[in-house]
Structure 1
Amino acid sequence: MRRQVLLGTVGAVLLVGAGCGIPVASDVRVDGNRGTATEAGSGNGRRSEPPTRTASGSDNEAFVRNFLSAAAGESDRAYERVTKFVAPEYKSRLQVKQGSEVGFTVVRLQDQVFTFNSDSTTTVKIKVQQVGLLRANGTLAPPVATETEYEFKLRSAALAGAPDDERAGLYVLDPPNVLLLSDVALQQYYQEETIYFWNSDRTRLVPDQRYLPQAVPSERRVNEVVKWLVAGPSDWLRPGVVGLPDRTELINNATGANNRWEVNLDMSGEDQTRIDQLITQIAWSLGDLRGELELKIRNNAQPVQDLSARREAKPLYPGTESPQRFCVYEGSIHPLDFAGEPSGAMPLVPATNRNIVSAGFGRSDGRILAAMVVAGGKGRQRLAVGAGVVPVAVLSGRTEYASISRPVWLRTVDDRPAQGLVVADGQLYRFDQAAMMYPVPINLPSVEVTAVATSLDGQRAALIAGGRLYVAAVNLDGGVSIGPLRQVVTSLTSLSAVDWVGEDRLVLAGSAGKPAIYEISVDGAMETPLKTDVGAKVTHLSAYPANRTVSLPSGALMYEANGVAYRSSPFDRIRPEQVLNINPPPAGVRPGNPSAPFFLY
């Protein structure tokens, strides 16, 4: 799925500077506030190439901002673009790499300090958070660099002894020996792409996030996407998906004219079923491209496929029903009633709908999947699970725990026994339809897990463990295995809750000085504040992941903080009168608070 970075949320913006009139040798501290881009954009409002060295004139702050954008674009010219910002006598400090070895060190700028020196240079110290390493194949890998601060100097490019000429611009002295790229530049000069790989049993496509430079001509996009598919999935996703057969190669470049694209592959194993699956994979990896695809295998043409028709015939996710909202009210699950949204009947057997703390429901192959955390004796909790047609009977687990997180399901596209994930007393567990719980090993010894969420495709999970955010592929072959874990960088601290709000987007609760809720990309590159002052720690969070099968409802995020439930768009308190099938309290008695809201989809 091709879309603008930070789709549907408040965009990140660039650093703005402080005032003028600063004496020599003084310190200027510039906060990490972000303003608008440096120059006017292209036809779609975004530039494809970063600004030149002289675009900022003698403005130190604008120059640094542009320097942290200079590498953006196609990797084969990255060093050429960056060295134009570097003083001639310092160009050799950059160790030039070629081809697949080229990588951009993506950083989140947190602070910058300018010190004006007596020799007419300016020392710049920038404090950063390492976000990741952007590779030539469009993947953002975990950070390799560990620096939290970079220091370099600036000097005017005007000739010595001549009056200062703003048009001459500035130069960097003693630059860092890496290609730095700010997260803002990643947003501004790259297009987010979502390509897809089949899961291990080839029943579902799984998203994989990539970045394509805006400078790449549109006619080359098909070629770049096919090259990514041939090269295989991102490292962290690899355990849960399958790539194309070994030694698959692109024969010549993908070509296109008049909305017809030709892709020629040298691919072993010419099984027609696999070829048909590859056509579906390419169609979804070019998710907004209309026209026809002619796939050739060793120059042997397959029937021409209409891309839009293929996507319509082979949807990414099963089911076309809109999500329904539920909550827990005084120990029982009840549907919520919001104008313009469907409200469903209670799918549980009434006798089991009591003493409930939280729940996770789902739909799968005509069945309702229900998992509840039920209050036990002496403040303990246990898991109750059921799956089937409405009304669903529930089996209750026997083991009780001090605390259990909201349970989540691993969604499948067939009638295999349903499984889910849950956290109990700091340990991650898999559960089945009989409410049996089995420990799931993760490679984080002695670290407490506090939250888990699963993606719409059922092949990826997000975890909060040891106060940090992780994502991992899920493999369902012979049970459930997770990992290896990839840590996702975020500026939030004291993380408390997470869920999937899109194919490659998470919604995360934590602290940004105050309790806050952010939207964050699955690789951590892009984060957007959704609510910066929640007022209390978020203890429960549920979202409906945006996808192309069912349109997004209004306010597809609900949470609980300080015992009160809220919905988003706008952020409003969920009121008792929005809870269906409850008895009004006696006169003079205040109604209870809805809690633990969740979606059924």
Structure 2
Amino acid sequence: MPGRWTLAGALCVALLAVAGCGIPDNTEVQVDGSGPAVEAGASSFRGDEPPTRTAAGTDREAFVRNFLSAAAGEPDRAYARVKKFIAPENKSRLQEKQGSEIAVNVVRLTEDPAITANRNGLFSVKLRVQQIGLLRSNGVLAPPVATETEYKFTLRGAVSPGQAGTEEAGLFVTDPPNVLLLSDQALRQYYQTRPVYFWNSNQRRLVADQRYLPLAVPDERRVNEVVKWLIAGPSEWLRPAARPLPDRTALINNAIEADGRWEVTLELPGDDNRELGKIGIQLAWSLPELSGQLQLTTRNQSRVEIPSLKQHRLAHPLYPIDDEPQRFTVYDGAVHALTFPGEASGVVPLVPAANHDVVSAGLSRVGDRILAALVVTAPGGRQRLAVGYGADPVQAVDPGTQTFRGIGRPVWLRPLDPGQPYGLVVADGRLYRFDDRARMVPVSLTVVGSVTAVASSLDGQRLALVVGGRLYLAAVNLDGGLVSVGPARAVATSLTDLSAVDWAAENTLVVAGTAGRSAVYEVSIDGALETPLVADVGARVTHLAAYPTNPVVPLPSALIMYEANAVAYRYPSPDAIRREQVLAVTPPPTGVRPDSPTAPFFLF
């Protein structure tokens, strides 16, 4: 394959040969030994606190937006910050919760706050919102509990109408909602998104879980917070695919840092050095800003030394991926490579005899082998799935026996065991599992509706789904050669009538839907953070593919391609992909308009 491999990629290929595409059991740590101290990387996060009550002066809309930021920061002080915005005579209306019960309702304003003046000198505020989720004290943004689409409250000035005397300047809320509210904009501004990593069920691959860390948390406490998150376990929706730490694991005292060396002491049942080594890999990836030495010990003095967290990450890469994703498309019924300036072009990993009658395709690289899934035409205007697996180029594909009215883009679940590859595909509104012999089996979901699209994360343990025009997440368990999908979590987004989805990063999706017009957005997996990419596609997006950014092979941004109205595009260019950018095709006769490339995808 042409292109340059990173050290991480080369190491991963070596691991593929011996460990079936997972992170190896024998970690390169020193047990009961020590290594040279390497200075930890210093990362100064902004210690931003939300604005105070008086920061907006008499600007009512600014005050309301600041009120929706007040809960941001360390959870144990959230109520105190919010109550400063509430009139003294009404503070008791906001009932406080303590400890792990503290949770913040994250909402997205669907329109600007409506503020109207009343005859009594007060101001009525009406907020129309979309409920995003419940931000818990452990940094998890859980699914929303509240169902309100509207909140109403009242503002007064510093002096209550009809009362003499003076109070502090500014405005007050007189009748607050009895919940902590936080806008999605405040979440973006005052928190840092951080992935933490849990082992999958057989401890051969790490699975990313998203957390939110307040920027106000001091740098020296970051290690403590991450260790506590790991001890608390994965998010609820991820648990079918992710393994928590052993029961009764606890942090003893606080993590200590001295001269670039971090020391973490745990209560670990069994004092198993292998388990301690596994936790070391989790911490190395969950603390990417640290590059120095980490020492893990237990109460009984079992010890694991990691001389360099940076080198430890290189030695235990998260994903078996290459550093040069290659673009492909379907043109004139066959898979072809695409070429663009500044990018490496690939060679189609299929022999011509296996590359015909193609509607769409999903290809994946596993070491020196190729997984190929082709949606091909069948008699009667129907479609079927053809699958091949072998050395590059794949010599033949096995045509399936089942035919359907329509089949979506097939995706491979990157296998832990290359001998048992599985993929997922949507056919006639249902989700199916397929194997390397094109056998298709329906997959049960916990949500009802027509399935439009499915996409798999790089770890192969998390799915994004479009069901009934809405976005969902689900964990995948691959134990025993089976593919079972856990309970689906709905993801709130301002887009409606969704049609396509793929993974833009570890914890970010790229989604196509409607926002007044057909659009493509980048959306965090919990729905809280949205970024419009293409505001007006011009037609419904029917096909979407991305190469996700990741910490193994970092890219400035996700590489994205999509199809609308049978025309393919390469984001961010507004221009369609042209026939001249498709390799190895014969120009049409003079006067004949060339076909448009369709169904673009990436090979990696």
TM-score in terms of structure 1 length: 0.90
Provide the alpha-carbon RMSD of the alignment. 1.8
Q: Deviation at 1:351?
A: 1.1
Question: What residue in structure 1 maps to residue 392 of structure 2?
Answer: 390
- Equivalent residue in structure 1 for 2:541, among 538, 541, 566: 538
Question: What residue in structure 2 maps to residue 280 of structure 1?
Answer: 281
1:320 & 1:113 partners in 2: Cα distance?
Answer: 51
Question: What residue in structure 1 maps to residue 80 of structure 2?
Answer: 80
**Equivalent position amino acid for 1:182 in 2:** S
2:166 & 2:541 partners in 1: Cα distance?
Answer: 54
Question: What residue in structure 1 maps to residue 70 of structure 2?
Answer: 70
Pairing of 1:129-528 with structure 2 (within 5 A): 129-158=130-159, 168-298=169-299, 299-392=301-394, 393-445=396-448, 447-478=449-480, 479-528=482-531
2:405 & 2:601 partners in 1: Cα distance?
Answer: 22
**Equivalent position amino acid for 1:322 in 2:** E
Question: What residue in structure 2 maps to residue 124 of structure 1?
Answer: 125
2:47 & 2:294 partners in 1: Cα distance?
Answer: 30
Q: Is the Cα–Cα contact under 8 Å of residues 320 and 549 in structure 1 kept in the other structure?
A: no
Deviations 1:30-56 (A, max 9, x none): xxxxxxxxxxxxx98966111111111
**Equivalent position amino acid for 1:271 in 2:** D
Q: Is the Cα–Cα contact under 8 Å of residues 194 and 212 in structure 2 kept in the other structure?
A: yes
Task: From the superposition, tell whether residues 571 and 45 of structure 1 become closer, same or farther in structure 2 (CA, over 3 Å).
Answer: farther
- Equivalent residue in structure 2 for 1:595, among 587, 593, 598: 598
SS in 2 for 1:501: strand
Question: What residue in structure 2 maps to residue 104 of structure 1?
Answer: 104
**Equivalent position amino acid for 2:437 in 1:** A
Q: Say how many residue pairs are matched.
A: 558
Tell which has more relative contact order, 1 or 2 (C-alpha 8 A, sep 6+).
2
Q: Is the Cα–Cα contact under 8 Å of residues 555 and 569 in structure 1 kept in the other structure?
A: no
Deviations 1:322-374 (A, max 9, x none): 11110000111100011221211111121121111000110113211110110
Q: Is the Cα–Cα contact under 8 Å of residues 365 and 414 in structure 1 kept in the other structure?
A: no
Task: From the superposition, tell whether residues 164 and 501 of structure 1 become closer, same or farther in structure 2 (CA, over 3 Å).
Answer: farther
1:553 & 1:46 partners in 2: Cα distance?
Answer: 22
1:473 & 1:569 partners in 2: Cα distance?
Answer: 31
Q: Deviation at 1:591?
A: 1.1
Structure 2 residue runs of 5 or longer lacking an equivalent are: 1-42
Q: Deviation at 1:572?
A: 3.1
Matched, 1:52 2:55: no
Q: Deviation at 1:554?
A: 7.3
SS in 2 for 1:63: helix
2:435 & 2:519 partners in 1: Cα distance?
Answer: 34
Moved more, 127-136 or 566-575: 566-575
1:162 & 1:522 partners in 2: Cα distance?
Answer: 50
1:83 & 1:176 partners in 2: Cα distance?
Answer: 11
Q: Is the Cα–Cα contact under 8 Å of residues 412 and 457 in structure 1 kept in the other structure?
A: no
SS in 2 for 1:104: strand
Q: Is the Cα–Cα contact under 8 Å of residues 341 and 553 in structure 1 kept in the other structure?
A: no
2:516 & 2:216 partners in 1: Cα distance?
Answer: 38
TM-score in terms of structure 2 length: 0.90
1:230 & 1:219 partners in 2: Cα distance?
Answer: 19
Deviations 1:282-317 (A, max 9, x none): 100001222211111224332243111111111111
Moved more, 263-272 or 104-113: 263-272
Deviations 1:153-197 (A, max 9, x none): 000013667999997000001100000000000011111111100
Q: Is the Cα–Cα contact under 8 Å of residues 364 and 413 in structure 1 kept in the other structure?
A: no
**Equivalent position amino acid for 1:103 in 2:** A
SS in 1 for 2:70: coil
Q: Is the Cα–Cα contact under 8 Å of residues 521 and 533 in structure 2 kept in the other structure?
A: yes
Pairing of 1:23-42 with structure 2 (within 5 A): none
Q: Is the Cα–Cα contact under 8 Å of residues 509 and 524 in structure 2 kept in the other structure?
A: yes
**Equivalent position amino acid for 1:346 in 2:** V
Q: Deviation at 1:226?
A: 0.4
SS in 1 for 2:587: coil
1:526 & 1:553 partners in 2: Cα distance?
Answer: 18
Task: From the superposition, tell whether residues 408 and 164 of structure 1 become closer, same or farther in structure 2 (CA, over 3 Å).
Answer: farther
SS in 1 for 2:198: strand
**Equivalent position amino acid for 1:256 in 2:** E
- Of all paired residues, the percent bearing the same amino acid is 62
1:427 & 1:96 partners in 2: Cα distance?
Answer: 45
Q: Is the Cα–Cα contact under 8 Å of residues 495 and 515 in structure 2 kept in the other structure?
A: yes
Q: Is the Cα–Cα contact under 8 Å of residues 372 and 389 in structure 2 kept in the other structure?
A: yes
Question: What residue in structure 2 maps to residue 5 of structure 1?
Answer: none
2:118 & 2:188 partners in 1: Cα distance?
Answer: 33
2:273 & 2:49 partners in 1: Cα distance?
Answer: 42
Structure 1 residue runs of 5 or longer lacking an equivalent are: 1-42
Q: Is the Cα–Cα contact under 8 Å of residues 45 and 215 in structure 2 kept in the other structure?
A: no
Q: Is the Cα–Cα contact under 8 Å of residues 223 and 255 in structure 1 kept in the other structure?
A: no
